[in-house]
Copies of this chain bind each other. A is one copy, B any other.
Amino acid sequence: MVAVTGLYDRAASRWRELQADICAALEAVDGRARFSSERWERPGGGGGVSRVLEDGEVFEKAGVNWSDVEGELPEDFAAQLPGSGRRFRATGVSLVLHPRSPMAPTTHANFRFLEKGDAAWFGGGADLTPYYVWREDAEHFHRTLAAACDAHAPVGDYPRFKRWCDEYFFLKHRGETRGVGGIFFDYVGRAPGLAKATDADLEAAFAMASACGAAFVPAYVPIVERRRAEPYGDVERRWQLVRRGRYVEFNLVDDRGTTFGLKTGGRIESILMSLPPLVRWDHDVQPPGPRERELVDILRAPVDWLGPSTRPR
């Protein structure tokens, strides 16, 4: 398909390596539970390795999935993507971490490479979903990811990716972002038309996506280390379970990846690994106090965590 020799295989290897590195770092944080590892085949072609940690000391549920799949896209979906025809190959690493403590944020990251006909591109990102906001945590997360982007400018473009993240992880029916954001990018490699991406464009995109992937552990782990021992009680736990409901609503109603996977015969248990372990839906919940109100206010008006100078021009 694409011209750059071996790029697909190098990307697939790099995501596999990231999966291993991230799981090792998270096991070190947890100190108790271990990731299982489960290899699966996709009936249409390819497969993956799902790694799941449940009932840990720090993580109530954590899933880190790697995949390398190929096949034919359904016609209506193929028409929405760049590149000729319906044949595709895709490889990526994708994770969602649900800490037990409501004081530690949930997080998601995904890095992927797709080839379709004459097109090829990178996509991905990482975002943070706290139940209680510490501004220094949100700033640290954004700062670490921004540094990875900046090191690969102009293909890495933090201000644009930050806004893209706020726009993508938005629950329309709630009028809220999913969390305090991070970065999101897609169709990177395209210069100027995706089908005409040069080898250098794709290599630069790979280097950027790879650097963002490497930035995930330093962006997230210090936050969970800082918050794992914060005290909390039933009110905070209940707030976390209610807010996890919003995570489910986003993933099942709005998330393109999830709904596409469910509707086109993806591997259900790997797709739904992202759903929280325990969730509440109470009727018409209001924030019980000022800290919970602060969260909701932030979700309704996304913050420029690194200051106004980082706003997209």
**Which of these, B54, B262, B277, B283, contacts A63 with CB under 8 Å?**
B283
**Interface-forming stretch among A7-15, A24-32, A83-91, A246-254?**
A246-254
Q: Which residue of B lies closest to A253 (CB)?
A: B252
User: With an 8 A cutoff between CB atoms, is A269 at the interface?
Assistant: yes
Determine the distance from Cα of A164 to Cα of B248 in the docked complex, in whole angstroms. 28
Q: Give the complex CA separation of A199 and B259 in angstroms.
A: 43
Q: Quick check: A278 and B275 within 8 Å, CB to CB?
A: no
A61 to B281, CA, bound (A): 9
State the copy count for this chain: 2
Asked if A272 is at the interface (CB within 8 A of a chain B CB), the reply is: yes
Interface size class on chain A is: 20 to 34
Residue A172, interface by CB 8 Å: yes
Which of these, B172, B279, B282, contacts A281 with CB under 8 Å?
Answer: B279
Given A63-B283, A283-B54 in contact, is the A173-B276 Cβ separation under 8 Å? no
Complex CA gap A268/B175 in Å reads 11
A39: interface (CB < 8 Å): no
* A-to-B contact residues, CB < 8 Å: 52, 54, 61, 63, 172-174, 241, 245, 248-249, 252-253, 259, 262-263, 268-269, 272-273, 275-284
- Known A-B contacts: A248-B252, A252-B253, A253-B262. Give 4 more (CB < 8 A): A61-B281, A173-B263, A174-B268, A276-B281
